[in-house]
Structures are given as structure tokens and as C-alpha cells.
Amino acid sequence: MTSMLRRLFLLSFVLSRTVAWADISLAPLFRDGAVLQRDRTVPVWGKGAPGEKVTVSFAPQRREATTGPDGHWRVLLDALPTNSVGADLVVSGQNTIVVRDVVVGEVWLCSGQSNMQFPVSRTLDAAREIAAARYPLIRHIQIERVGADDPADTVPTTGWQRATPEYVGAFTAVGYFFARDLFQRVGVPIGLIHSSWGGTPIEAWMSPAALASDPAFRVVDERWAQTLAEFPARQTAFEAELAAWTSAEAGANTKGKAAQAAFVAKNPKPRAPRGPNDPWTPRRLFNGMINPLLPYALRGAIWYQGESNVGRAGEYQALFRAMIAAWRAHFGQGDFPFYWVNLANFNQPNDSSGTSWAVLRDAQTRTLGLPNTGQAIAIDIGDANDIHPTNKQEVGRRLALLARVRTYELVGDDSGPGYAGSTREGSALRVRFTEASGGLVAHDKPVQSLQVAGADRVFHLATGRIDRDTLIVTAPAVREPVAVRYAWNNAPEANLYSGAGLPAVPFRSDDW
């Protein structure tokens, strides 16, 4: 054998042994401190060399698998009982991985845009909340914000962190307050998988299968194709605009900090146009930030998103329904609970109709037709001048009410009054509600933000009188009312509640 042939043979042998002895790895959620879902079959999976034998041990269970030709492996652990005392999850192949302090309880996926991303450190009374966080059995794992063109197998994370003063400030505030309420009542470990990205539309969170499920969704890709086609020209214009702004800002800065601040307030820094690899790209966030989590066992999901779809609220209901259905199918755990936040009041700039947020909220409400869904109303606790209201404590509590009653079957009220119908009584409309068995209550003043219209479809401000669990609505200008609306604008004053103190759902009886 020549010297060259010997070298080639040796290289081939080394490469073959490297492949055969490739280390096994675990999916990104299986890290120290993990929370596994109780009372449900638990998939554990990862990668290794093709044909490698893998053994997984947890508690008394031991499972074996052999990696497939693509290097993937998976085992299923039988349903696990609650366990608040951490144990080791051991995975063995050519190497051994020990995941320490793994507990068993309830796992919830928290997703959406900036109001889900909003951290505890920015909430109302944040310093006190952080100092009081002593819940080592509430654990949070942050999925890093990474998009992908194709469904990914893995994604960077922070690892599982405990709800203590050291870490809780960076947790999703909505998720943390939701979990804290549940922990205080259910008393089992709670894991929060936090995968959100501020300012993103729903189509970025939809899977390829979801966007292929309805021919009407082709408009999403057509719109994005137009965005990409326009990107080069817009990028050129942006660069010129940015250069001019930078020069002007530097000039203002020479006149002092006050002049510089005044310039920036009057002349915001230009924003780059959307284009390739943007988080708005359809499917991109599902591929990068949800697909790597499949099929981790969980109890359900909470969702806070919609602000970035307000301009296209008319298509939101269909997209939202398709996204929920697809996530459930991808996780393979049936129609798991899916609860969301109905958008808070906000004065949307440049909205000539003044109702674009109302239409989006209505689309969210109509999605309740899907099984095992619920929504927390936030119309009364937002900030009309800030898209990021800081009272995330109450948002989390209202989401937790849904889980308490519907998921954990605890006794209580979980929803405020919802429109059930109206009947004409002379010059008034009597409005009936669901979830009003405890009666109706108007906080601080008579019911606000009511409108009625006659056959001419012109709405006028109206007044309402509570009659036990119904509302009598009238307007002097409308003698023969046919339609009624409540809180039907972007930032209404919404003060109608149930006897249990939960806000009424904004509604309209018309479809005009």
C-alpha cells in the first residue's frame, strides 16, 4: 500500500469512528431544573449517530430506543405523578447526559408578541414583586428569538430558571403572574415555556401546514412577496434618509442635550424596511421558536398577540383559528387548553375609523367557537396612551381564572358578561348577557361607551340602565333602535362588570 493510500485509509477510518461514536444530544427543553407534565405521556427525544442505542431513565422508568437513519430518537415515558422533589433524568448512549433536579407538575406554553414578552421588571410595583418572588417550584425557560426558513430541530434557551429575586425580573410578566396564581391554588410545580417576539404578526407564528390549510391564506404570501419585491428600493431610500437624520441629529447634539432630545422627539430615527429574514416573514417564528419544542408534553398555552394585526383585523379570526388548530395537531396532545388576552384599550395612531382595535377584539372573541378556549378581557386595565400597560398582575390573574375553572375544575367565576342577544321594547333595546347570574354592575358612574342605531345604520351615543342581569339601552335620537354596541372603539371607557367583578366583553349586535 502506498503512503498516499495508507493516509486515505487512516482518514476514512477516523471519520467512520467519529460518526459511529457521535455524542447523543437532548432536545432544548430537557435541561437542569426542567418541569415535566404530570398525568400525561411524556416524550423525551434528541439526536445521535444513526443506529445508536439510547436508554432513558427517570424515576422507576427505563426506556430504550435506536436512532433512525436521520439520527433522531424518541422514547415515551408513562404518565408521571406530581413530584416536587427534583430527580435525575439520565440519557445514555455512547455518552451519558444527566439532567438534574427535574420536577413533575404543570407545563404551560406562553407565546405572542411584546405584551407577552414584557418582563416582570417593568410591571406595576416591580421592585416589590421581584423581592417577593420566592417560588422555586415555578420555573421559566426563555426561548431565544431566532427565526428559521425551515422547521428547526433546536433553538438556544436560557435554561430553566426558578422564580426567585435573582431571575424573576426577566420572566414573562403575564406568564409569571398566571403561574403564581395557579401555584397558590393548585400547589404543584409549574413550568413556563416562554416563546415570544415583540411586534410580530400572527402569520409569523403559523406553521407551513397552517398557512396551507385554506386557499384564502395565499394572500399572506402574496403580501410578503410584494414586501420583498419593494425591499431594495425601500432600503436605498432608508439609507439616504438615515444618513440625513444622523447628520441632523449630530448637529442638534452640538447645541446641547436638550436640543438633541427635542430634535429626536420631533424627528424619530428612521426605521429600516422589512425584508429578508425579518421576524414578520410568514412561518419564520414557528419554524425557529415553536417547532424545536415539539412534542414536549404540556397542559396548555396562553397567548397575548394581535396588536401587529390590527391593520388587517378582518382576516385575523381565520388565521387565529388555523394557528390554534395547527399547534394542537403538531403537539399531538388533543385540544389542549388555549387561553388568550383580548386586547386592552389603546388609542391607535392614524386610525381614522377609531375602531380597528375593536374589530380585532371581536375577531378574538369569535374564535371562542373553537373547543377548550377562553379569553381574558383587558379593555378596562390598559393605558390608552401606551401599547404596553404595566398592570400585568391582573392580566395574569384573569388568565389564571380560566385555567382554575376550566382546566383544574375549581369552583368560581372565570368570565365577565358576554352579549347574548337583544330585544326591542318600545324605544329601547333590552340586552341579555351570558355569565351574568350575579347581576350587572357599573363601576363609578352609569354604563359608558354605549351606542344604538336605527334602520339608517347611524350610531348615536346611548345610555344604559341595569335591570338585574339585563341592560336597557336608549338614545333620544333613535326612536326605533335595531342595533347596539358597547365599548366599540379603540380606547373606550369600559365600566360594565359582572357581580363577580369581571369586565363585560366588548360587543356589537350588528355586522355592518
Sort 413 into a burial class: Cβ within 10 Å, 0-12 / 13-18 / 19+. Answer: middle
The whole-angstrom separation of Cα 478 and Cα 460 is 7
- The pLDDT score that the predictor gives to residue 89 is 98
DSSP string covering 421-453: EEEEETTEEEEEEES-TT-EEE-SSSPPSEEEE
Confidence of residue 93 (pLDDT cuts 50, 70, 90): very high
Tens digits of per-residue pLDDT, 290-323?
Answer: 999 999 999 999 999 999 999 899 999 999 999 9
User: How far is Cα 208 from Cα 346, in angstroms, rounded to an integer?
Assistant: 32
Q: In a 3-state reduction of DSSP, which class is residue 42? A: strand
Report the SS3 class of residue 206: coil
Concatenating the DSSP letter of every residue in 210-245 gives: HHTS-GGGHHHHHHHHHHHHHHHHHHHHHHHHHHHH
pLDDT (tens digit, 9 = 90+) per residue, 415-468?
999 999 999 999 999 999 999 878 999 999 999 999 999 999 999 999 999 999
Query: How far, in Å, are 153, 277, 278, 292, 444 from residue 148 at the CA level?
Result: 10, 8, 10, 11, 50
To 10 degrees, what angle do helices 356-366 and 316-331 make?
40
Spatial CA neighbour of 490 closest among 415, 385, 401, 409? 385
Each residue of 133-156: pLDDT tens digit? 999 999 999 999 999 999 999 999
CA atoms lying within 13 Å on the CB side of residue 175: 37
388-412: per-residue pLDDT in tens?
Answer: 999 999 999 999 999 999 999 999 9
Pick the closest to residue 285 from 152, 117, 140 (CA basis). Answer: 152
Q: Which residues contact 502 (CB under 8 A, 6 or more apart)?
A: 377, 398, 401, 413, 414, 415, 416, 417, 435
Please check the confidence at residue 281 and state whether its pLDDT lies above 90: yes
The model's pLDDT over 101-118, given as tens digits with 9 standing for 90+, comes to 999 999 999 999 999 999
Q: What does the pLDDT read at residue 2?
A: 52
Q: What is the mean pLDDT of residues 477-490?
A: 98
Largest Cα separation within the chain, whole Å, is 106
